[in-house]
Amino acid sequence: MALASSFLIAANDEHGLNPPTSGKRTPIMPYINRSFYENEFNRRCKNAFIEACLRCGFNVFDVKPEIQDISITTRVRRTNNARPTLVVTYAYNASGDGLSFNNANGFEVYYSRLNQFASRSQELSEDIYQQMVNNVSNNGRGVGTLNVSMLISVNCPATLIEAGFMTNFEEAKLMLNPIYITQVAESSCQGVCQYLDVQYIPREDFSAYPTLRRGNQGNKVILLQYLLNKYGYNLTPDGIFGSRSYNAVIDFQRKNGLTVDGIVGRNTWNALLNPQGRTIRQGDRSGATWYLQQMLLTKLYPIGEIDGVFGNATLQAVRDFQSENGLTVDGIVGPATWRVLDTIGGGRPLI
């Protein structure tokens, strides 16, 4: 087995938000009257992949930390300057005119024969694809070739994952599903581990999450910062557990019913990784509400903004979800509601 810390893994997400890249979106989704933008999936999945790589002991390089689109020339240059072991790019496919839903479906993994490491890029792509076939709740379409600059012009093995079709109604709903995002990201990391002969450490293995406190530095602090950013803390992932990270931990602990000491031990790690499950109701501002809002939106219940605040819009969405799924309509998200909600797929039908 090779040592994960010997490798630098680069991760890239296609397109951007704020403003969203033109055309890279689903048709208008019913019930919520808006599109899901491709980068809403790509960015989240890239970040989840980075988290998995950090947990497994890799060094990481985020090719595009910005939320807006960055030119492909800049992203290729950044990648080559970083000199990574390999680069993984995340994308979501489309078919047809982009204005209506159709039956094209499934995920694909690509490499380019024009890459100077073409055979290694193919091997990397095949390893990732096999792990996705084993672990992702979607159909595989195979490994193919694609000649785009992030596959051709980088000076390392490169792969690109098209995780589904934005123009397929059911796969469009998966784009914001945190369970599906985690499946794709973790499968990608497993494929990278297989390719590099590195031990994959499962997400639920808490031996991979050391106790952290103010003053600590390193990759596991970067992992902590990425996880906190899922809940709106907007930290720079610099690997330094300074005052901003400390204050974010304190706030997260307070909102999630944890011991408020600024020390990141098993309970805090668990709340960051698995926010769902605790009973919540209107007024809640915990990580569970962030997760709840994502799950409601992916099932096409309007919640306004994903902001972690269990307000009136979230309450109405919960009530509607309970009513339409044979649950007690009380607006309280307890075990019965979580069991139905916390799944891949389903949600409101196409109308």
Same domain as 217, residue 303: no
Say if residue 351's pLDDT is above 90: no
Host domain of residue 36? 4-196
Give the tokens for residue 332. 């309280």
CATH number of the domain that 101 lies in?
3.40.630.40
> Mean of the pLDDT values across residues 134-139?
96
The H or E element containing residue 291 is helix 287-298
CATH number of the domain that 311 lies in?
1.10.101.10
pLDDT, tens digit, for every residue of 212-228? Answer: 999 999 999 999 999 99
Same domain as 55, residue 96: yes
Domains in the chain: how many in total? Answer: 3
pLDDT, position 231: 97
Domain boundary among 196, 224, 254: 196
Q: Apex CA 8: angle with CA 90 and CA 127, to 5°?
A: 55
Same domain as 334, residue 309: yes
How far is C-alpha 133 from the geometric centre of its chain's CA atoms?
18
Residue 93 in any domain: the answer is: yes
Give the tokens for residue 345. 């797929």
Residue 230 in any domain: the answer is: yes
Q: Where are the alpha helices (DSSP H) in 176-238?
A: 178-196, 219-229
Domain boundary among 273, 302, 323: 273
Which residue reads 């090779």 in tokens? 2
pLDDT, position 327: 98
Do 27 and 167 meet the contact criterion of CB atoms below 8 Å apart?
yes
Do 49 and 87 meet the contact criterion of CB atoms below 8 Å apart?
no
Q: What residues contact residue 3 under an 8 Å CB cut-off, 6+ apart?
A: 57, 198
pLDDT, position 6: 98
How far is the C-alpha of 42 from the C-alpha of 179, rounded, in Å? 14
Do 249 and 269 meet the contact criterion of CB atoms below 8 Å apart?
no
Same domain as 188, residue 247: no
pLDDT, position 284: 97
pLDDT, tens digit, for every residue of 279-337? Answer: 999 999 999 999 999 999 999 999 999 999 999 999 999 999 999 999 999 999 999 99
Same domain as 169, residue 306: no
Residue 281 in any domain: the answer is: no
How far is the C-alpha of 99 from the C-alpha of 184, rounded, in Å? 26
Same domain as 177, residue 320: no
Helix (H, G, I), strand (E, B) or coil at 80: helix
> Mean of the pLDDT values across residues 8-18?
97
Residue 36 in any domain: the answer is: yes
Residue 36, amino acid: F
Helix (H, G, I), strand (E, B) or coil at 62: strand
Which residue reads 């309509």 in tokens? 329
Give the tokens for residue 261. 């000491």
Same domain as 336, residue 190: no
How far is C-alpha 104 from the geometric centre of its chain's CA atoms?
23
Q: Please give the residue that has the higher pLDDT: either 119 or 1.
A: 119
Partners of residue 333 on adjacent β-strands:
280
In which region does residue 232 sit, left (phi positive, over 0), alpha (psi from -120 to 50) or beta (all else)?
left
> To the nearest whole number, what is the mean pLDDT of the chain?
97
Residue 203 in any domain: the answer is: no
Confidence band, pLDDT 50/70/90 cuts, at residue 238: very high
pLDDT, tens digit, for every residue of 165-203? Answer: 999 999 999 999 999 999 999 999 999 999 999 999 999
Alpha carbon of 53 to those of 105, 196, 265: distances in Å?
A: 28, 12, 20
Partners of residue 107 on adjacent β-strands:
140
Give the tokens for residue 74. 């800049």
Residue 123 in any domain: the answer is: yes
Partners of residue 158 on adjacent β-strands:
87
Residue 186 in any domain: the answer is: yes
Same domain as 41, residue 153: yes
Same domain as 238, residue 153: no
Q: pTM for the whole thing?
A: 0.98
Same domain as 96, residue 191: yes
Give the tokens for residue 262. 């600024």
Same domain as 164, residue 37: yes
Same domain as 181, residue 53: yes
Residue 261 in any domain: the answer is: yes
